[in-house]
Structures are given as structure tokens and as C-alpha cells.
Structure 1
Amino acid sequence: MKQEGVLSELVRARLTSAEYDGLTKETVEKFYIEEYGQLPPPFEIIHSDKLQIGEESGFNGTAIHFFDDKQAINEVYVINRGTEGDLSKFAELGEKWFKTLKNYKQNPENLKEIVFSGNEDIYTDAYEVLLGDDQSQIEDNQDFKDKVIQKVNEKNLLTKPVFFLDAHSLGGNQGQTLMVTSGDLFTDVNVYNDAPMNIYTIVRMHDKIRKIIEDKYGILADEHDIYKIKPSELYSILDKELGSYASKITYYRNEEDLLTNLTLPYAYRLTNKMNVVTFDSDSKVGRPVDLAAKYPDLTGMIVSILDRANQVKGLSYPEIAFFAKSGFVAAALPSLFHNDFERRIGHLIDDFEGIDLTGHAMDVVIAQIAKQSQQKIVNNELMIKVADIDGGEIEINLDAAYRFYSEGYSLLFGKEETIPAMERVFQTYIVESYQRHVTYTTQQMAEIEENPEAFLSSSDRYTVDVQYHVKYSNFRFLDRPRPQLAPNITMLFDEVIAGIRLETNRQKEFLEKYKDGIKKLAETDERIALLFDTHLERRQSW
């Protein structure tokens, strides 16, 4: 039985997608208003990077804490995002292949730093999801969870906290592992097109299972000997110890997703007939090929290469040359020039390139969840029908319409903020600077009038001529008032400021007319009025 909380399944999925761009209070408020037609309870967003977590591993997560003792609300939603990478960095390594190869051969154990710098998520895909050899992001996720718990407890709320978890792709692997290694902390967990847990990671990270395995097999879980234990021998132990978690988790999947259709060698999930929700977003595309099952020999070879590449000795030069040559020939040359091994690689590449990867996207799952509640969401943006016409419908993209309004006010406020800044600059660098020069010049004139002889050179013909002494002592500059800044300068500046104020007033009038127009288009939908009418008040807390 799923735990119902402040956020619906749809809002949780939408926030999981939006987390890739960095969750903001505006986004949380917007999704909540669009779903419920009311303002959310008070909440705080906690970002892992603000806690200096994940700087080395590449882990990135967010938690949203809703709290209100009056409504007995104390709920925490932890979100784990999926793989993010910069493939251009691999291209740069390829251009510097000799230096990269040299650095690797000198320090094979530093493969992550040498090859995967800036692509730590991809390293985690290979060495945690696939191999179960690196748990750095899992450990950072646990650290993040502990910090979130600490922050929640610091509020000293009367209501006991309830923890939820949502995760996509690589985050699915991390989220599931976090759930099973956190006791009964998480009440409800959703994963979307998830990467599976790795059985060896579970053994290493779950204290009780770790002890069972070490006692039974007489090995240390952190040692490489753990891979001598066949996965088939571990599944029954994991099922016994972790089976109860299956009732807490829901697997949302798209039929066309690549990842959930892969049979990875060390994969473990808690799936059953009750907790898997599968959508068919595009029946024309169909289920993708299970590349791991179709090419078991190549899958095993990839696992072996990755495993040895990260060891102290690393791969040898002949091995690197052989694999590089085979990959190049398979990808670049016609099959006529392939040997059997290269032909297999070529077929794998062709099959992979034929897969539509959009089926893995979070927004595809969101669209299907929205359909279940008779809503239409495209690219995580809510579409609202405003009219029927000629057998069709007229829709507005509410998120796009609101974004135009919000960004318009951001530009407007930015202009308004420049006015006092410009006035300060004008006062400091024009008015005050001019007055400083006038004051300095006046002081110099006064000194000359007081002691003119001091300002005459020794070669001046009047210096020793006594008859001019009286004339010098009565020396005066023209007796006029201090010159003031030319009025036309201040007038021009005032005109510029007035022009900016006029422009911002017109922009404000336009935005309010725009808002009224959107509200009129869907005047029966109270969510729209609330979303737009509370914007200015809400943004004061962003």
C-alpha cells in the first residue's frame, strides 16, 4: 500500500525531471499549484552541492522538506538524478591520445581521474552499476541522507518526519541501494526507467548482508575475491533479507526504454507483479533489443576489460591496441573487411544506433503518468484546453505562458534595479567628482592669492623687483561664484532615467494585460488565477 503524502505521484515525477536543471522554490510552487490549485505548505530545498557533497564522486541530489506543525506535515522528498556527462571531454582525450595513454600506463589505478574527469557519472555507470566495484556515489548519497535528517531534526517539529524517495536512471540504482541500506527510513520510493542495483554493491554496503557473506565464504567483501561468488548464490540471500522492501517501491517503466530492457550480469531489483507500472509511449517503436542478452560474449568481454583496466597493473599495450583497432575497424570500415570478432562488434554498434533513446527520458514517463489522471503534460509542461473548435481543441502551454510572465518580471525588476545604481554612479563620478575638482582648484587659487611669490620661479624677472611687491601682495583671481555643473548634463541624465521608468511602467502594464488575457482564456480554471496572481508575492521569498 503506497503512502500518500503532500505530493502526488505526478508532481513527484515532474520534480524528479526538473531536478536536472536544479530545483527552485518557484518550480516547486508552480507544480504544486498546477496540481492542487492552492499554495503549498512551507518548505525548504536542500541541495547536495551546497553541502559540499559529491565534489569528487560527481553525486548530485536534492531534498525537499515540507513542514507545518499546524497541519501535522513533516515530509521529506529525496531526489536522485541520473547520468549526466560531457562527451566532448572524451573527444579531447582522443585528440591527446598519446598523452592520455602515457598517463594511464603510468598510473592505471587513477583511471577515473585520467579518463573520466568531468564524466564521473559515466564512470559510476561502469564501475558501480555494471561491476559493483566503486561505491563513492552511493556513499555520498548516504552522507547526503544523513545531513538531510540532521537538518530536518534541527527544526524540532512535533510531527514525526516521513521520508519519500524518487530517482531516475542511474539515480534509480542509487535510490534503491539507499533504500535497502537505510533500514525503515523511507516509506515510499518511486524509480523511473531505473538502473538496477548491483549485487556486489549491496553486499558491500548492507551491514547485515556483508556479515552473512563474509562469515559464510570466509572472505572480506571489500576484496576482489568477492567476485568469485557467483551471482546465483547471492540472490537467495538478498531476496530473504531485502524482500520486504518490495512493498515500498514502485518501478515506473517505459516499454521503449533501453536500460530497463537490459539484462546486466550483476543486476538486482525488487520487482514483482504488484510494483511494476509499464507504459507504452510509442507502440510503433517497440521494445528495444536487449543488447546484453543478444551479445553475451561481448558483454562479458566489456566487463572483463573494465575490471582489469582499473586494477594496479591495468591493461597492457597489446590489449589496448587490439581493442582500439577492433573498435575502429568495426565502426569505420565496411563489414567486408571485418573478421568474426569485429563483425560482432559491428552488429552491436548497428543495433545500438538503431535504438530510440528518447524512450529512456524522464519526460516520457511523466506524460504517461499524467494520462492516468486525465492531464496532458508534454516535455514536463502542462497543457490546458481552453476551447473546442471545428472538432478540435485549443490548448495553452501553462508552463510556457507562466514562464514568459515570470521572466518578463525578472527583466523588469532588473531594469528597475539599475536606476538607483545609475543614480549612484552619476552622483559619484559626475556630480561629486566635479565638485571635488572645483574645491581643489579653489584651494589652489586661495594659496596663490595668499602667497603669490611662492609660485614664481627663480628666473622670473619680477621676483627681486621691489616695486612690484605691493602688486603681488594684492594679487586676486576674479571674484566670481564657484562654477556649477552645466544644467544640460543633469537634464540629459534625468531624461535617461525618466525614459527607463517609462519603459518599465509600460512593461508592467503589458505583463498585467498579458496575465489578464491568460486568465480570461481559462477563466474557469482557478489554478491559473492563483499561479499568476500570487507570483509577485511569492517571488519575494525566492
Structure 2
Amino acid sequence: MSKDNNVLLTDELRLRIINLEYKDISNEEFTNEVRRIYMEEVGKPLEVDVSVIKSSELSNVNNTVPSSYDGTAIQFYSKQQDINEVYIVSQGTTDTDDWLYNIRAMQVGKDTNQAENTDIFANEAKKIFQEKNGDIHPVTIGLSHSLAHNNNSTSHLLYDTFDEIYSVNGAQTNYYQLYFSDNKFEEVVNGKFNISLFDNPNKVYSIPPNELKTFAEAYYKEKGTVIHQVISSDDPLNALANIRGFFTLGDVTMIDTNPDKPGLKAIIDKIPDSEVKSLQDFALVYAEGFQNGGNNQGIEDLTGVNMDVVDKIMNDGVGAAVGTYFSKDLDDMISDVNEKVPPLLEKVTNITSNADVIFGELKNAGYITNAQKQVAVEELANIEKSLKIIEEKINSIDENRKMSEEMMKGTKYSPYAGQAAMASGFNVMAGDVDAAIAIYHEVQNMQASAKRLHEELGSVMEEIIASHGIVEMLNALGASKNQGYLGNDLVLMTGGNQEIKVNISAAVRMYQEGQQELQKKKTYITKIAERFQEHIIDDYENQKQKVLSDIRNIETNPCGQLPLLRKHVFLPYFSPVQIDKVEVTEQFNGLSGMDISHLMEGLTKSLTDNEDFLESAKSNIEQLFSKDRDLSILFNYVPGG
């Protein structure tokens, strides 16, 4: 189906809905926001039913196949207009679990769990929508950004999930992921590149990346025709599009969203594939470690350093060190370090050897200053230096133990062999403990270097990451139309020089919410007048009438007042005294100090002034953009109203 026939028919509409997925709002709010966005972009109300389901509402998602997938399903339905479209808006990277998945799935190709849950969610949501309206076979469209493009596209290639996929700044499809998840693809790859069933599955990584990439592009080309992408040439993920594992499917529109900067692709392309492979190997170990047990576990899986063991030595003193030593915890840790640090150092050396070129290119491109470049190069060198010291300490442990063994051979038959053995044992232990303490300090140094790198380059990363975001892309797309975006708000601009900018979304909210508040104020003013009339004016008149009624009763029935007279005047019981006539002279003082007309006038004037302000602002904004757009429909329309 052509995208021009879809409900969400423009890139701006789709991107704003994708961006909406990152907001934590209720289904009702989400629906109203969809209608608002449609109204702003298309200029008319969305005259179809809109239903929303979130993946968190469905128990099967992330349950059968554990993952951190998150998404929202939106159905646009109208039987009269023959519209039945389901959009699966998969969410991009938001938390640590997603970042770890990025590494496992897209850097290493070892995980497709989020892609599997994309398909599970799409099918579950469509069943619910079908039960609601009875229609089957909706057009199913995937919307995605970043990690979500990998999820949606991989889900489609594996399970035929979508009829169309639209993505912005997506993490591209990974042929290693597909190799380990698509049995048919694995079979044809094995046949093409002579991998037998008895070979290690990781042999696929030995295939020349360009050859496997070309093969994957041809194999999935037909399925990829439904994939449509808009990508910023400044997007850092775009810089990774050509490294091993990634390949791009479908049609791609490239947009320069940050003309002042050249983007990272030219820089990344200068890194040899062997160094990229080192990054992938490093990422796999890092991801698995930090996934299994957090910070300390990640350090241990990277370096072999068991921080819990070393903390005991550092915090509890020599006695604890001896106990730790003889429990072999320290011995096991040293053995683990000896196994893991040398290959890790080799990978880090491959990375740091390119540091001057990488950060030099960033400096030349204007991303960082010369001072920031120096910090980056220095701290990476410090990390490498710490790893070398750790390696040296490991070597010294081996040499110390070998020397001790040689000395013990020379005293084997000596009468002092026992004492020599004890001394030798304590010497070895002392050397091991000393090495453990040194290793601990080097781990601290590496953590300090990582912290300084973050402090120095954090703002640079924010700028780079902004080019990966949706808003920068929206602004680039809207520039030719004299419109931009602030968050999920629409900003209109006048003239080629964009001299005046107005946040239309905010202006409409101000007008509509202002009108609602003014309506409340009108109600309050009316209630004040009603309560004053009821409880002051009317109550005074009511009480006055009660008194007059009592007076008339006394005057028309004077004999009836005799019991009252007896209460105040002594009269014998059989006294012939009668009351023939009663005359009451009444005088009622009018209410004083009860005039609130000045208060009511002030409240009414305030109300009128506010109404005038809102209407004037609305009128001025409408007039400002009258040549290009009729904004009155936006001001007068309330989503869900």
C-alpha cells in the first residue's frame, strides 16, 4: 500500500507519533495527542475511531520470550470509510536493559528477543482489535526509531509481521542476528560459505564482512521493499551503518539535520574492520558481565578482578587477607585475571592506537576542542596503562611462585624444610596480596578515567546524540515549510528569514485551557452573586416577613396574647382582665455595608479583560499566518471533546 493512502500519510505525522511513544501517558491521553497531532499536521479532524493498546497491558509480551521490549499499538478504524490500519509503534532505547540488548543484538548478533516480542505484541494487539470491531486483516504498519527499527525490521524478516515499516534514524538490520535466528538464512549462508553442521557456529564471524553483507542484502531484498527510512547524515548510528554486521534494506532518504557539522560517518569509516571486530568482542564480554550482575560483575567479567574479594582485603586488614588467601578466593581471582586481562589488553590497545586519529577527526569536524581531544587521548592511554600494570602484576605473581618452587626444591632434604616451606608460603601469599591491592588501585584509576571522559565529553555527546533524535529531524523536514518543532509541539515561522516563531501547540493550549479557566471563573462569579442574593438579601427579606407575620398574628388575635402577658404581669387566675387590642409599631433598618457591586464589577472586568486577551492573541496569531494556514480550526477543536 502506498504511504499516501495511509492515515498517517506524512513523515512529520509518523515521526511525531513515534516521538509520542517515549511519553509516559495514559491510553486516553495518547489517543487525544494523536488526534491533536493529526489536526495540526493535516488541518482537519481525524474522523475515524482510534484505539490504543500498550505492550505492558498484555501478559504474553516479554513473558514467553523474556526481554525489555516496549511499544504501543494504535488502530485507526472506520467501516464507512473502509479504513482498518494498525500501527505498531516500537519504542527505542530508553534504559540500561535496552543498551545491553543493543550490544548483544546489534554489536554481536546474539539476541533477537525484542524482535520476537515485536511480533508477539503485534499479533496479540490485532486479536484484541478484531474482537472489538469484527473486521480482520488490517493493514499492519510498523513505526520505529533507533533500536526499534532493528526490532521492527528483524521481526518482519523473521515472521512477516508488517505490510509497511517506516523508521527514523534506525539501528540497521544485522545479518549475524538473522543468521542465528533464521534457519533458512543460516542454511543458505552455510552452503554459500562452506560452513558445515560440525563447525563452531561462531565461524560465521570469519566470513569476510563485505561478502556476507552483499549476500544478505540480496537474500532479503524483496522483503525489504516495504521498509522506508528517513536518516540524518549526522546521526551517530548512521556512522555505524557500514561496520560489520549491519546492512540496510528498503528505500532511504538522507537528510542533513545539522549542516554546521559533517557527521561521524567519515570518521568511523577510517577505523579498520579489525578494530571494529575488537570493539564487538569487547562489547560482548562487557554486555554479558553487566547483564549478569551489575557493576562489580561487569568488572569481574572484563578483567577477572573480584571486587568483593579485594574489598575484604582492603577493608578488613591483613587477618582477612590471610583468611581470604587460604580460602583460595584470592588464588581463584588471580587465575581469572591472568586469563582475562591479556586478551582484553590486546583489544583495548587496538582501540587506543586509533584514539589520536578518531579524536583528531572529531576536533577537525568541530565537535570537540583541542583540550578535550587531549583529555580523551590521555584518559584512554591511562586506561591502557592500568591494564598493562595489572598484566605486569600477574606476571610477577607467576615469577614469584616459580621462584618459590625452585627454592623449595633446594631445601627438600634440609632439617629446616618445614620452616622454609612456611616462609616460602607466606612470601608467596604476601606477593599475591600485594598484587591484589595494586590491581584494586588500577581498577579505581580506570573508573576515574572513565568519569573524567564523561565530564569532558558529556556535552559533546549530547550534541551528537541530538542528531540521533527525532526533533532535529522534524525541524529539518519542516524548514522548507516554515515550521519547526519543540518537543512534540508544532512551531510556525513567518517569512523566509523565519523572523517570528510561534509555538502553535502551546498557543492553542493556552487559548483552550484559558477558555476553560474563564468558564470556571464565570461559574464562580455567578455563584458568588447567587449566594449573596440567597444568603444575604433574600434571607433578610425572609426574616423580615416572618417578623411582620408574627406582628399581624398578634394584632388580629389580641386575646391570644394573654398567656404572654401573664408571664410578665401578676394577675389572679380568675381575674376578668382581657386584652382587647394590640398595636405594634414596627421599624426595620435597611441592610448597611452589604453593597458588593464594586466587587462584582471588578471580577467581571477581570473576566472580560482575560477574554479579550485570549481572543486578541488568537486573532493576532491567526492573522499572522493567514496567508499559509487557517488556524481557527486548531483553536476551536478540542481532541476528545
Work out which of the residue numbers 219, 229, 241 in structure 1 matches 2:219. Answer: 241
Matched-pair identity in %:
21
Q: Secondary structure at the match of 1:21?
A: coil
Superposed CA offset, 1:485-527 (max 9, x none): xxxxxxxxxxxxxx9xx99997899479626632553054876
Q: Which has the higher contact order (CA 8 A, sep 6+)?
A: 1
Per the alignment, do residues 179 and 156 of structure 1 end up closer, same or farther by CA in structure 2, a change over 3 Å counting?
Answer: same
Q: 2:469 aligns to what?
A: 361
Superposed CA offset, 1:132-188 (max 9, x none): 1122222221221121221232234457411222211111211221222232x5232
Check conservation: 1:181, 1:206, Cα contact below 8 A: yes
Quick one: which amino acid aligns to residue 18 of structure 2?
A: T
Q: Secondary structure at the match of 1:65?
A: strand
Work out which of the residue numbers 163, 170, 174 in structure 2 matches 1:187. Answer: 163
Q: Secondary structure at the match of 2:220?
A: helix
Quick one: which amino acid aligns to residue 635 of structure 2?
A: F
Check conservation: 1:193, 1:360, Cα contact below 8 A: yes
Check conservation: 1:34, 1:527, Cα contact below 8 A: no
- The alignment's TM-score, normalised by the length of structure 2, stands at 0.55
Return the offset for 1:332. Answer: 6.3
Superposed CA offset, 1:472-493 (max 9, x none): xxxxxxxxxxxxxxxxxxxxxx
Question: What does residue range 377-416 of structure 1 map to in structure 2 within 5 Å?
Answer: 377-379=484-486, 380-385=488-493, 393-405=499-511
Q: 1:521 aligns to what?
A: 621
Q: 1:7 aligns to what?
A: 8
Check conservation: 1:292, 1:299, Cα contact below 8 A: no
1:283 is aligned to 2:391: no
1:136 is aligned to 2:138: no
Per the alignment, do residues 509 and 59 of structure 1 end up closer, same or farther by CA in structure 2, a change over 3 Å counting?
Answer: farther
Return the offset for 1:268. Answer: 1.8
Q: 1:485 aligns to what?
A: none
How far apart, CA to CA, are the structure 2 residues paired with 1:156 and 1:120?
Answer: 36
1:270 is aligned to 2:249: yes
CA RMSD after TM alignment: 4.6
Per the alignment, do residues 70 and 287 of structure 1 end up closer, same or farther by CA in structure 2, a change over 3 Å counting?
Answer: same
Quick one: which amino acid aligns to residue 78 of structure 2?
A: D
Q: 1:260 aligns to what?
A: 238
Quick one: which amino acid aligns to residue 529 of structure 1?
A: S
Quick one: which amino acid aligns to residue 149 of structure 1?
A: K
Quick one: which amino acid aligns to residue 265 of structure 1?
A: R
Question: What does residue range 61-460 of structure 1 map to in structure 2 within 5 Å?
Answer: 61-85=71-95, 119-158=96-135, 160-183=137-160, 185-213=161-189, 217-219=195-197, 224=202, 226-227=204-205, 231-232=209-210, 234-262=212-240, 263-271=242-250, 275-290=251-266, 292-296=268-272, 297-309=274-286, 310=288, 314-315=301-302, 316-317=304-305, 318=337, 319=340, 335=378, 338=381, 356-357=463-464, 358-371=466-479, 374-379=481-486, 380-385=488-493, 393-405=499-511
Q: Secondary structure at the match of 2:221?
A: helix
Per the alignment, do residues 303 and 337 of structure 1 end up closer, same or farther by CA in structure 2, a change over 3 Å counting?
Answer: closer
Check conservation: 1:42, 1:68, Cα contact below 8 A: yes
Unaligned runs of 5+ in 1: 86-118, 417-498
Moved more, 20-29 or 391-400: 391-400
Q: 1:98 aligns to what?
A: none
Per the alignment, do residues 503 and 247 of structure 1 end up closer, same or farther by CA in structure 2, a change over 3 Å counting?
Answer: farther
1:27 is aligned to 2:33: yes
How far apart, CA to CA, are the structure 1 residues paired with 2:377 and 2:202?
Answer: 40
Moved more, 47-56 or 36-45: 47-56
Unaligned runs of 5+ in 2: 293-299, 306-336, 356-373, 387-445, 523-598
Return the offset for 1:240. Answer: 3.8
Q: 2:637 aligns to what?
A: 534
Q: 2:409 aligns to what?
A: none
Return the offset for 1:409. Answer: 7.5
Superposed CA offset, 1:308-358 (max 9, x none): 453899443334697699899x99697499489669x99xx7999866412
How far apart, CA to CA, are the structure 1 residues paired with 2:380 and 2:123?
Answer: 56
Quick one: which amino acid aligns to residue 71 of structure 1?
A: Q
Quick one: which amino acid aligns to residue 200 of structure 1?
A: Y
Q: 2:327 aligns to what?
A: none
How far apart, CA to CA, are the structure 1 residues paired with 2:147 and 2:213?
Answer: 21
Question: What does residue range 38-77 of structure 1 map to in structure 2 within 5 Å?
Answer: 38-40=44-46, 41-52=48-59, 53-54=61-62, 57-77=67-87
Return the offset for 1:191. Answer: 1.6
Return the offset for 1:12. Answer: 0.6
Return the offset for 1:190. Answer: 1.7
Check conservation: 1:243, 1:270, Cα contact below 8 A: yes
Q: Secondary structure at the match of 1:44?
A: strand
Moved more, 363-372 or 209-218: 209-218
Residue correspondences, number: 414
Superposed CA offset, 1:111-150 (max 9, x none): xxxxxxxx11110111111111122222221221121221
Check conservation: 2:348, 2:384, Cα contact below 8 A: no
Check conservation: 2:232, 2:473, Cα contact below 8 A: yes
Structure ID, larger Rg: 2
Return the offset for 1:220. Answer: 9.1
